[in-house]
Amino acid sequence: MRACTVAAVQVAPSPRPLCAETVADNSARAVALVRDCVAATGAELVVLPESVTTGFTPGVDVETLWRLVSAVPGPVLAPFATAAAELGIHLVVGTYERGPEPGVVYNAAVLLGPSGVLGVYRKTHPFAGERRDRGGWVTPGEDICVVSTPLGRIGLIICFDGDYPELSRITAISGAEIICRPSALLRSADLWTLTNRARAYDNHVYLIGANATGVDAAGVCYFGNSMVVTPTADVVARAASHECWVSARLDPATALASLTPGSSVPQGFDHLADRNLALIRRHADTLLGEAATPFPHGRQPT
């Protein structure tokens, strides 16, 4: 990758009931913030939150949601594609995506460049209540997404995906230098920070986490705290809880210059190169086997 300025823009969804006008208003506000951010910071890569076009909890049934969103590329994404082209930037947009048949909706992160859609990632680990097979509205995706761009190799994950180290590890091994995490996190700022820092440090990648703020159409609240994290787990930019952006300069020449931020001790290890592959191969069946926590919790066995 080359040195570049990146930004996370956190947006509050409209709290009004979800309809076509709400989707258009959400998109227009997000695009306006992106334009202001780029004008102020010169960011070349901008990341928006998860489901920025609708809000995470849509408050409508899955068939209605399917009708309100579009395929990728499609009309819902068009204002963002226009902005990316006019600004000459790379833009990550979180949006629900219309699937191949009514009722199939994906939670997608779309990487746009000046020329249009460069890659689409569909959330592989939907949050519990979001999953269609548990009464929600999202059908899980099936694969990773890493895209080579003039800025570097960009990988995509979405929100709850960040709780699963294997996904970010596969994405990093597949070449990602920057992982973008559009989110509408529903738990705590501590867990948000922990998982962002861990996934960046686990894999020695930059991580840009753009989290929603405000209240969505179903009355669910979000806390913002969007951030940029370095490959040594240093949070170099962090937002508060209002609509805003944060930006940082990423420089691969200094990404692993020291053991910890500001230290005179050089970085002497590589979490990817130094993996004990013999151990991993020996326990591959265990790693790929069914498992569940032994502790009591809210989800009932199915």
Q: What is the dihedral of CA 299, 17, 12, 48, to 10 degrees?
A: 80
> What amino acid is encoded at 203 in this protein?
N
Half-sphere exposure of 212 (CA within 13 A, CB side): 31
Q: Alpha-carbon distance 9 to 13, whole Å? A: 13
| Residues with a known catalytic role | 50, 123, 159
Q: Alpha-carbon distance 197 to 223, whole Å? A: 18
Q: Work out the number of other CB atoms within 10 angstroms of the CB of residue 215.
A: 16
Q: Alpha-carbon distance 64 to 48, whole Å? A: 24
Q: Which tokens sit at 219?
A: 């009355």
> What amino acid is encoded at 124 in this protein?
T
Q: Are 230 and 206 in contact (CB under 8 A)?
A: yes
Of 100, 161, 176, 90, the closest CA to residue 130 belongs to 161
